[in-house]
């Protein structure tokens, strides 16, 4: 999506092309393209409109109804912050008294849009001119021009001293290389990003959930966020924005209220025997190193100090983990496991694992399942020994 095409899509001619493309889109790309061209729409504009219709449909999962008015690029949509996450972050910033914010590396504008909806005035910059054009179009499409200004600029050249807060989402992809995992290869580079908090104390950094805890700036809060069980990002909250050492935030795309767990991130959970129930913590809990805090909540324990399954003898309702009831515990043996599943009539098997080198799909084939019943199987270690847990979900 070039900036020139983005501009044309915002004209009456482009809006007509989008409307025609939306009406012609019935899941058959060739038929849709033919239908759009039959209206005399130029080939490049027709292609851009059809692409936008497809991306808007996919974007509903991230942006809800607003996706139908927004503009996207394929890469930008994949990397954009989900609206439920951006809104949660914006609400926290607004509650902390933030009224002006610099958004360094705004992408398609998801976080800037959320901040503006929360009443924060945003100066957003994006180094890629075509992406900046899309972000600007989204600001206009959602009627937020009075609160957001978008410029195509290098984030490292922005004077941030006059803003209440800075939000930075360094690019973690490079053309021809895909994802990059070394912070030194981020854009802007990590040295610049990590130093922002020394210039503007109220700084928030959006990062990949696999970011090393050792990179957390001194005194900052590390937050790991999941949406409906999918771990989506980490955020470092710096200066006066930090409210805990580590936080796991569990959000939902539905009306379910959020859940938050905080702690030191260095506590150790007790280790003991397998109990009647096993809890598989949400990935945000695991990645934020808050398994010990979760275990304390349910009076639980680990079966192995290195494995994040938590066991208890009594059931506890919790938003932070999935609970299963253990029916059988046995050392791993393919022959014994196959016999047990055959005797139980298990034909449908969910397989989970931590601390096991076995490949679930290969194991599923080797088990030769048949029967009317369903069960859950956990491959793990208990006290260092490969162990199989047969469970029923609750």
> What does the pLDDT look like over 275-311, one tens digit per residue?
999 999 999 999 999 999 999 999 999 999 999 999 9
Q: What is the largest CA-CA distance in the chain?
A: 72
Q: How confident is the model at residue 177 (pLDDT cuts 50, 70, 90)?
A: low
Residue 175 burial (10 A CB sphere; 0-12, 13-18, 19+): exposed
Which of 230, 268, 233, 228 lies closest to 247 in space, CA to CA?
A: 233
For every residue of 174-201, DSSP letters joined together read: ETTTEE---GGGSBS-HHHHHTHHHHSS
Q: Please state the rounded mean pLDDT for residues 343-364.
A: 96
For domain 77-262, the CATH class is: alpha beta
Give the chain's count of helices (H) and strands (E).
14, 18
Per-residue pLDDT tens over the stretch 241-251: 999 999 999 99
Domain ranges of the chain: 3-72, 77-262, 277-393
Answer yes or no: is pLDDT of 62 > 60.
yes
Which range, of 41-50, 120-129, 357-366, averages the lowest pLDDT?
41-50
Helix (H) or strand (E) holding 167: strand 165-168
- CB-facing half-sphere around the CA of 172: CA atoms within 13 A: 20
What is d(CA 377, CA 368) in angstroms, rounded to the nearest whole number? 14
Q: What is the pLDDT of residue 175?
A: 47
Helix (H) or strand (E) holding 173: strand 173-174
Answer yes or no: is pLDDT of 352 > 50.
yes
Q: Please state the rounded mean pLDDT for residues 19-43.
A: 82
Per-residue pLDDT tens over the stretch 142-151: 999 999 999 9
Inter-axis angle of helices 110-117 and 83-95, to 10 degrees? 50
pTM: 0.92
Inter-axis angle of helices 43-63 and 12-24, to 10 degrees? 70
DSSP 28: -
User: Residue for token digits 């859950």?
Assistant: 376
Strand 277-281 relative to strand 310-312, pairing: antiparallel
Per-residue pLDDT tens over the stretch 179-238: 656 777 788 889 999 999 999 999 999 999 999 999 999 999 999 999 999 999 999 999
**CA distances, 381 to each of 194, 300, 328, 357 (Å):** 38, 17, 14, 11
Which range, of 15-19, 24-28, 235-239, averages the lowest pLDDT?
24-28
């Amino acid at each position: 999506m070039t900036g020139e095409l983005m501009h044309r899509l915002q004209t009456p001619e482009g809006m007509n092309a989008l409307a025609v493309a939306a009406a012609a889109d019935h899941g058959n790309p060739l038929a849709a393209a033919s239908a759009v061209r039959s209206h005399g729409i130029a080939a490049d504009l027709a292609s851009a409109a059809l692409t936008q219709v497809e991306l808007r449909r996919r974007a509903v999962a991230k942006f809800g109804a607003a996706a139908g008015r927004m503009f996207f690029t394929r890469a930008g949509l994949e990397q954009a912050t989900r609206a439920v996450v951006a809104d949660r972050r914006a609400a926290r910033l607004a509650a902390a008294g933030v009224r002006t914010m610099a958004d360094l590396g705004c992408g398609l504008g998801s976080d800037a849009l959320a901040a503006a909806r929360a009443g924060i005035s945003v100066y957003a910059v994006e180094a890629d001119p075509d992406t900046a054009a899309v972000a600007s179009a989204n600001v206009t499409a959602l009627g937020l021009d009075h609160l957001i200004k978008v410029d195509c600029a290098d984030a490292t050249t922005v004077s941030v001293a006059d803003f209440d807060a800075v939000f930075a989402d360094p690019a973690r992809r490079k053309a021809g290389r895909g994802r990059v995992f070394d912070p030194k290869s981020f854009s802007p580079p990590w040295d610049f990003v990590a130093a922002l908090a020394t210039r503007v104390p109220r700084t928030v950094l959006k990062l990949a959930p696999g970011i090393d805890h050792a990179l957390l700036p001194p005194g900052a809060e590390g937050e790991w966020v999941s949406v409906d069980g999918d771990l989506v990002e980490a955020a470092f909250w710096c200066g006066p924005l930090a409210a805990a050492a580590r936080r796991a935030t569990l959000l939902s795309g539905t009306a379910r209220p959020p859940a938050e767990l905080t702690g030191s991130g260095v506590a150790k959970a007790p280790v003991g025997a397998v109990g009647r129930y096993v809890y598989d913590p949400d990935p945000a809990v695991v990645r934020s190193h808050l398994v010990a805090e979760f275990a304390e909540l349910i009076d639980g324990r680990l079966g192995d100090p290195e494995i994040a399954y938590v066991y208890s003898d009594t059931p506890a309702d919790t938003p932070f983990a999935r609970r299963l009831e253990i029916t059988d515990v046995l050392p791993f043996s393919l022959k014994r496991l196959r016999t047990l599943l055959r005797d139980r009539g298990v034909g449908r098997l969910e397989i989970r694992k931590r601390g096991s080198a076995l490949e679930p799909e290969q194991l599923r084939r080797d088990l030769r399942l048949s029967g009317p019943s369903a069960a859950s199987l956990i491959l793990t270690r208990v006290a260092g020994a490969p162990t199989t847990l047969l469970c029923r979900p609750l």
